[in-house]
Amino acid sequence: MACENRPKIALYSCTFAKDLNRALRMAESVAKHNKDGIPFYISAPEDEIELFKSAFSGCSVNIIDERDILRANPKLDIEKLYRLSGSTRQQIIKSEFWRLGLSENYLVLDSDCVFIRDFDEADFIVKDDIPYSVIHEGRDLLLATERFGPATARRDFAERTEWIKTALGRPGISYQYGCAPFLWSRKVWDSLDKNYLSPRGESFLDAILYCASEFTWYGESLMAFKAIPLYPREQLFKHYDYEHQFWLDQALGYSEQVLAKDFMGVVYQSNWQTWYDFGPARKSPFSLLLRATKRIIKQQKFKIMLLMQLFRI
């Protein structure tokens, strides 16, 4: 059973200044659709806390220093962690949030997540403090990238899953345990620590350095150590990893209203939706112009390919 004073579920996002506009958009969607008032936390780097507190003043959001999360695990080498790339560091921070004891489970929202329909605790919790587990075979993404690229997507998926499966001793089908948002139980993370990391004198930082896929470590730990019963769910949000997936859905008329019948929200990947970046551009005007030109050319090529397929039919 859950700790008497600990909520069954919390919402959590690990972000930084570049994603401030996205985080605000996400928070607005939470405020609109969070019908049970599920507690919501956002962590940011120490030197950006005041920026986030100012931007979110008046919002029902708890802003916390990401270092408070890291300090909760004395085994973490924080200096070593901050020498890693920001994206790798965020994987570790997200996966250590459970140590603060703020909830039994948590929904990890990336800044580019947007809720498009109402949700409540029952969307995430089966019974008592047991959450659903997102588990599928990733065919949506694999099929989309097989046709329109990138060519490495299938290989990357196989390498990532096989490495962690082998490490934790599970044969069989390779599963996908995402994409964002991720629904995680503190019991599963604790089981990975007790059964795999601690006996080896390691922390989750070491696990990520072996294979940088936090959601695969979570899912394979669930399968290996069975800390909670498995109640599977498909991915909760429609995830546009690549802009060509979004273009295709636009062409087919899949608006947010249509998607809301089957998904709680949408992820507009920040790698391509760059116009939501906060702060001054880090690239030169020439680089920005080149990127915009490449995007236009790519979009036109996509439309031509689509028309050619239609005329073939």
* Cα distances (Å, whole numbers) of residue 248 to 137, 254, 256, 305: 21, 9, 14, 11
* Cα distances (Å, whole numbers) of residue 139 to 153, 170, 236, 270: 11, 20, 15, 22
With respect to residue 110, please indicate whether it lies within any of the assigned structural domains.
Answer: yes
With respect to residue 1, please indicate whether it lies within any of the assigned structural domains.
Answer: no
| 259 and 290 fall within a common domain | no
Minimal CA–CA distance to 219: which of 267, 180, 161?
Answer: 161
With respect to residue 52, please indicate whether it lies within any of the assigned structural domains.
Answer: yes
With respect to residue 3, please indicate whether it lies within any of the assigned structural domains.
Answer: no
Q: How does strand 125-127 pair with strand 130-131?
A: antiparallel
**Count: domains in the chain:** 2
* Cα distances (Å, whole numbers) of residue 31 to 36, 60, 226: 11, 8, 34
With respect to residue 249, please indicate whether it lies within any of the assigned structural domains.
Answer: yes
What pLDDT is recorded for position 289?
77
Could you give the count of Cα atoms lying within 13 Å of 47 in the half-sphere of its Cβ? 0
Put simply, whether the predicted model's pTM sits higher than 0.85 gets the answer: yes
Which residue range(s) make up the domain with 288?
A: 280-313
| 302 and 213 fall within a common domain | no
What pLDDT is recorded for position 149?
67
Q: Two tokens at 266? A: 């949408």
Q: Determine the Cα–Cα distance for residues 309 and 121; give it in Å rounded to an integer.
A: 43
| 115 and 236 fall within a common domain | yes
| Sequence-ordered alpha helix ranges (H) in the chain | 20-33, 49-55, 66-71, 78-81, 86-96, 139-148, 153-168, 186-192, 204-210, 214-225, 243-252, 256-259, 285-312
Query: For 73, left (φ over 0), alpha (ψ -120 to 50), or beta?
Result: beta
Q: Two tokens at 273? A: 């939706």
| 48 and 152 fall within a common domain | yes
| 296 and 149 fall within a common domain | no
| 166 and 292 fall within a common domain | no
| 165 and 29 fall within a common domain | yes
Q: Do 150 and 141 touch, CB atoms closer than 8 A?
A: no
| 177 and 293 fall within a common domain | no
With respect to residue 4, please indicate whether it lies within any of the assigned structural domains.
Answer: no
Burial class (CB in 10 A: 0-12, 13-18, 19+), 273: middle
| 302 and 234 fall within a common domain | no
Q: Do 7 and 39 touch, CB atoms closer than 8 A?
A: yes
Q: Do 243 and 144 touch, CB atoms closer than 8 A?
A: no
Kindly report the length of the chain.
Answer: 313
With respect to residue 2, please indicate whether it lies within any of the assigned structural domains.
Answer: no
The enclosing domain of 90 has a CATH number of 3.90.550
| 186 and 306 fall within a common domain | no
| 224 and 308 fall within a common domain | no
In the predicted model, residues of the chain with pLDDT beneath 50 are 1-2
With respect to residue 65, please indicate whether it lies within any of the assigned structural domains.
Answer: yes
3-state helix, strand, coil in the chain (%, to 5): 50, 15, 35
| 308 and 236 fall within a common domain | no
